Amino acid sequence: MPELPEVETVRQGLARWADGRRIVAVEVHHPRAIRRHLPGAEHFAAVLIGRTIVNVRRRGKYLWIPLDSGDALVAHLGMSGQLLFQPAAAPDETHLRVRLRFADGDPELRFVDQRTFGGLAVSEDGAELPAEIAHIARDPLDPLFSDDDFIQALRRRHTEVKRALLDQTLISGVGNIYADEALWRAKLHGTRPTDALTRPAVARLLGHVRDVLTESLKDGGTSFDALYVNVNGESGYFDRSLNVYGREGEPCFRCGTPIRREPFMNRSSYSCPHCQPRPRPRRPAA
């Protein structure tokens, strides 16, 4: 699943190629791609045709494209969604789902999604912030993100620290990969209870989350296969800089201990047994 750096990389590309362009044609090639747009394909096309893109914004892992009508085109990439700018003469991708053409000609915008877990929808009056994603918290790279509020909220939770990092209502944009990377840098095991963490420990962890996301963004995100690419079809290369994720059995870069992999919410967590010891079980209350 694309995380903040991957989605922000796509946002930047969209802003470069789409801002200020007027949509003149919309083709929906697969109904699942617009399943969240409940009025259907004809309505989806009708509310987009003739509209001009005025910006491209992001909240966590969601993108939205404000239109001059006051509505917004909301996009979620899911597991394999791609937003690509292509010349009209370029052959259609095998998994092309939606096509947008513009008044000024090439390039056109294509939504390609192999697994069809992602999708597009128009949010009425959603230019400022679509109601569908208003519940999602700000991410740590957002200038309006409050460190103090996050630290207090995390320490009030009665959960494990990795689960808290993945809670998009608490902090957005962080997924499995970057949670593991930040926890390794902070020397914290993902099962550490949040209410047992000190304020300085949470502040340090947040700093590492921010550093990991910033470094990955500079590298264009992480690509483990051909499914994540930017708007030009190019892969990111932060996977070359991963310290722990996907490195089961390889030596920890800090201490040399083989990295372990543990099951986590139908996925995997990676950590160093020496640098990130599991927390001791809590004694039951008397």
> Which residues are designated catalytic?
2-3, 61, 267
CA-wise closest residue to 221 among 178, 253, 267, 252: 178
Per the rule left: phi > 0, alpha: psi between -120 and 50, beta: everything else, 183 is: alpha
CA-wise closest residue to 118 among 83, 67, 166, 68: 83
Element (H, E) at 271: strand 267-271
Residues 150, 142 contacting (CB under 8 angstroms): no
Distance CA 258, CA 261 (A): 10
What would the two tokens of residue 235 be?
A: 């892969």
> Is 115 labeled as ligand-binding?
yes
Contacts of 55 (CB under 8 A, 6+ apart): 15, 19, 65, 66
How many helices, marked H, and strands, marked E, lie in the chain?
Answer: 6, 10
Burial of 143 (0-12, 13-18, 19+ CB in 10 A): exposed
**Residues flagged as binding site for DNA:** 95, 115, 157
**Residues flagged as binding site:** 95, 115, 157
